């Protein structure tokens, strides 16, 4: 099976435009997309998020999400660091969504229940397809996250830790060697 597509900024913006044209659940959908691209979490980890995972007691957004072993692949807990862009998106979403209980799923379906990992996988597949992005999947956000950081010079050990990989060899498979990286590399000679 082919690897998930790494999206360019133009393609990411194209998906955001598609989401904004669709009025129903656009804030939720935008926040789920940002969570995928700016946290590097797996789709199952995003589906497993609860409000209490991202919000402090005072309602502010945490700087770090501590995923329990039950929420991760491989049953090993890990810390996900949240950048300012994603914190702003999450705060906006929570202000809009106003969940009743901190233990409820962060992202809800039409029936006001949480997504399963499979349902969220299907959601991302159809989102990209309807937005006109070919070969993208629920793993595209995670792969783009890792590749973008690699493009900016972040070392593979840090990338592996951010991704929750035990082996840097696994992380290296995520990094898309694109034309921009190749151009920058030859300029170093």
State the DSSP string of 14-32: HHHHHHHH--TTHHHHHHH
Distance between CA atoms of 23 and 92, rounded to whole angstroms?
Answer: 16
Domain assignment present for residue 59? The answer is yes
- pLDDT attached to residue 1: 52
pTM over 0.85, yes/no: yes
Distance between CA atoms of 120 and 49, rounded to whole angstroms?
Answer: 12
* Sequential pLDDT tens for the chain (189 residues): 578 898 999 999 999 999 999 678 999 999 999 999 999 999 999 999 999 999 998 989 999 999 988 898 877 889 999 999 999 999 999 998 877 788 889 998 887 788 999 999 999 999 999 999 999 999 999 999 988 888 888 888 888 888 877 878 777 877 777 777 778 778 888
Domain count, the chain: 1
Distance between CA atoms of 151 and 69, rounded to whole angstroms?
Answer: 30
Domain assignment present for residue 167? The answer is no
Query: Domain range for residue 137?
Result: 9-141
Tell me how far CA of residue 88 lies from CA of 60, 61, 81, 168, 184, in angstroms: 10, 8, 14, 31, 32
Query: Domain containing 82 — which CATH number?
Result: 1.10.443.10
CA distance between the termini of the chain: 36
Distance between CA atoms of 142 and 18, rounded to whole angstroms?
Answer: 20
Domain assignment present for residue 175? The answer is no
- pLDDT attached to residue 140: 94
């Amino acid at each position: 099976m082919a690897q998930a597509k790494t999206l360019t900024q133009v393609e990411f913006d194209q998906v955001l435009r598609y989401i904004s044209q669709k009025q129903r659940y656009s804030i939720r959908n935008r926040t789920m997309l940002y969570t995928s691209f700016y946290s590097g979490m797996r789709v199952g980890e995003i589906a497993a998020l609860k409000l209490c995972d991202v919000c402090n007691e005072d309602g502010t957004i945490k700087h770090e999400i501590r995923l329990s072993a039950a929420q991760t692949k491989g049953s090993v807990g890990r810390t996900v660091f949240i950048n300012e862009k994603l914190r702003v998106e999450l705060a906006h979403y929570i202000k809009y969504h106003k969940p009743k209980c901190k233990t409820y799923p962060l992202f809800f379906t039409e029936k006001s229940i949480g997504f399963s990992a499979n349902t969220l996988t299907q959601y991302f597949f159809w989102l990209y397809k309807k937005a006109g992005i070919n070969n993208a999947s629920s793993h595209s956000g995670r792969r783009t996250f890792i590749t973008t950081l690699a493009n900016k010079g972040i070392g593979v050990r840090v990338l592996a830790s951010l991704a929750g990989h035990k082996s840097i060899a696994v992380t290296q498979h995520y990094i898309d060697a694109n034309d921009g990286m190749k151009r920058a590399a030859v300029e170093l000679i």
